[in-house]
Amino acid sequence: MAYDFNAEEIFIMAEQLERNGAKFYRDSANAVEDPDYHKLLNDLAQMEVEHEKTFKALRAEITEKEKESSVFDPEGEAALYLRALADSRVFFEKKMDMSSIKEILKAAIEAEKDSIVFYLGMQDAVPKNLGKGRIEKIIREEMGHIKFLGSKLVSLKK
């Protein structure tokens, strides 16, 4: 069965991705010994928490029309599908040196890039009348994450 998703469903998934990201950064902070890197990673976790709040606020702006489902889905399978994707697609368990800030930042940048590609694909699955244009706000937020993480990674090389 093919699904068209609405903007609300995508924002719910985006909120889950931010929770997953915050957990990744907290777990990483607990694995590094350097106090400065520990603080950086905890700050990044807090940024993810703030982004989740941003997405919740954006979701609150969605109109009732944009929340409508375009398919009959009494079991809520579309939402379950999105949750499974959010839990497995980005910030999944990676085999990496959790004590290396460089490897942590590289993994975080990779996860952010994956999320952008995913949202671009999901944007095609959201019809215009169900809030397709709102997905662009999520993509811009994620691009900001990459810029910030990239600057931190570059500063390590100096």
How far apart are alpha carbons 49 and 134 in whole angstroms? 20
- Whole-model pTM? 0.77
How far out from the chain centre does Cα 100 lie? Answer: 22
CA 140 to chain centre: 11
Q: Tell me the per-residue pLDDT of 2-17, one tens digit each, with 9 for 90 and over.
A: 556 777 877 888 888 8
Residues 13-31: tens digit of each pLDDT: 888 888 988 999 999 999 9
Domains of the chain: residue spans and CATH = 7-156 (1.20.1260.10)
